[in-house]
A and B are shown apart, each in its own frame.
Chain A
Amino acid sequence: MKLELLGHLILTVAIFGSLFLFVAYAVYFERKVAAKMQNRVGPDRVGWYGLLQPFADILKLLLKEEIIATQATKFVHTLAPAISVIMAFITFAMIPIAEGFYIADINIGMLYMMAVTSIGVYGVTLAGWSSNSKYSLLGSMRASAQMISYELSMGLAVVGVILITQSISVVSIVESQTENILYWNIIRQPLGFLIFWIASFAEANRLPFDLPESEQELVGGFHTEYSSMRFALFFFAEYTHLIVASSILTTVYLGGYQIPFQSFLFPGLDGWWLVSAQILTFILKMCLFVFLFMWVRWTLPRFKYNHLMELGWKYLLPLGLLNVVLTAGWLLIYDGF
């Protein structure tokens, strides 16, 4: 399927809307998963099985008082949550959800996502700084140092994929992983996948790497001084990161929208049916990663900060370099010098 410009614009609005819904329900899903793992019931009061809970939460937070501490720098304090949530949303722009269905396919798509993520660090940094509170500042320093450290390993892991695909465009990366599972990058780049996956935990500030907001020592980390919708925006950004990180992992390593063995299992599929099936496949794979993120969160304890930095700099970074060299060497042999 090929879309015209208008189609892409409509798709953009549709993706934005569904991303919004997915993020809202990711919060609900996380609470349900946590509840199940701890043998609780979880939210079940608002609506059928508590399904309206996300909207109740948003409404509640909208009606809360905005507390801006006297010592805070007001302008930056207001801007920081907005930066966080905007950058989290626009990372999604390059991800194809079905064949030909993407917001944009730009030659340097993969780098675009890395670049936008690196701007996202500012939301956290500025939040901590502008709050002018000790917990916030410590949390934001930790967050920015951790995010930039793991960005390096992430960038290196992607080099391996690009070596194989010979393109930085996200669409080409998905197309190079055909319906044959053996061509998925998780098989071709197992080490790269592992590095990327671990790094995305740190990028999304999630347990076991959630030191920026470790409740027991820093209260709430960088969002200690935030309330009402300002806090909600940070919360939103965090779960958007979760969805986007899962989508990127799906796209880069798990074949994106590719339906495994499609021509064998569903030979007659085409047109809108194919598109819907591909979107469904994409969503299922993405949900798998979302669930894995949650599973890890409610299973593993938190790292110490020095261990976290050690893991990033002393293990993942050299492993990433090794992965690049190994992949290049293998390709050299495979292509016959």
Chain B
Amino acid sequence: MEVAIFWLLAVIIIASAAATVFSKNIIYSAFSLLFSFLGVAGIYAMLSADFLAVTQIMVYVGGILTLILFGVMLTNRITMMSLKTDVFNFIPGLTIAAVMLAGLLYVIWVTGTWASDSPAAWDTTVETIGTLTITRFLLPFEVVAILLLIAVVGASFIARKDKQKIQS
């Protein structure tokens, strides 16, 4: 049962990721990304990383994809144009993909033994995450706050620039 669901999710993720890349219509690209994100959330849930799964949905599906859709909808007639799905930037793209693959394979190689069973106890991860963010990972936690602050300032800067453009 679990194996079947895993394969189902894997097929959904890869198929919709492929659809995102190859689709000629930008809305369909964005839309298939939705299923890709949901599939990844499903994988997280199966790994008993329940908090991560929900975070994946709330941030990526609820936030970032909405942002992308808004961007597409707000842009003048972009939805009418068909996208170029030809290959360009072939060498840099291939290089980046190769490096990524090598990195992943290296990590797989280094990690000697993998747990092949699902964790015996489906304990909640939230409590551990809560303790760790306040104790061991305190500095990254506060750095995240500063990073988000910078993001807010950056976002409002973009908006202001737009306003000036309209006035002039």
Contacts and interface: CB of A to CB of B under 8 A. Distances in A.
Direct touching of A and B (C-beta under 8 Å): yes
Interface string A136-148: 0100010010001
Leading 9 A-B pairs by shortest Cβ distance:
A118-B62, A107-B124, A115-B57, A111-B54, A108-B50, A115-B54, A115-B58, A108-B54, A108-B51
Contact of A148 (B54, B62, B124, B125): B62
Interface in A125-156: 125-126, 129, 137, 141, 144, 148, 151
Contact of B50 (A107, A114, A116, A151): A107
A114 B61 CA distance: 12
Contact of A129 (B38, B54, B58, B69): B69
A59 interface: no
A180 B126 CA distance: 29
A245 B70 CA distance: 26
A122 interface: yes
- Interface size class, chain B: 20 to 34
Nearest to B37: A119
B61 A118 contact: yes
B13 interface: no
A73 interface: yes
A173 to B, nearest CB: 14
30 contacts: A73-B27, A76-B27, A76-B31, A107-B125, A108-B54, A108-B126, A111-B54, A112-B54, A114-B54, A115-B58, A115-B61, A115-B62, A116-B57, A118-B57, A118-B58, A118-B62, A119-B38, A119-B61, A121-B62, A121-B66, A122-B34, A122-B61, A122-B66, A125-B66, A125-B69, A126-B31, A129-B69, A144-B70, A148-B62, A148-B63
A90 interface: no
Contact of B57 (A119, A151, A168): A119
Interface in B25-65: 27, 31, 34, 38, 50-51, 54, 57-58, 61-63
Nearest to A132: B79
A111 B58 CA distance: 9
- Interface of A (DSSP majority class): helix
B40 to A, nearest CB: 13
B73 interface: yes
Interface of B: 27, 31, 34, 38, 50-51, 54, 57-58, 61-63, 66, 69-70, 73, 79, 124-126
Contacts of B34: 122
- Interface size class, chain A: 20 to 34
Interface of A: 73, 76, 106-108, 111-112, 114-116, 118-119, 121-122, 125-126, 129, 137, 141, 144, 148, 151, 168-169
Contacts of A144: 66, 70
Contacts of B69: 125, 129
Contacts of B51: 108, 111
A250 to B, nearest CB: 22
Nearest to B74: A141
B66 A129 contact: no
Contacts of A169: 124
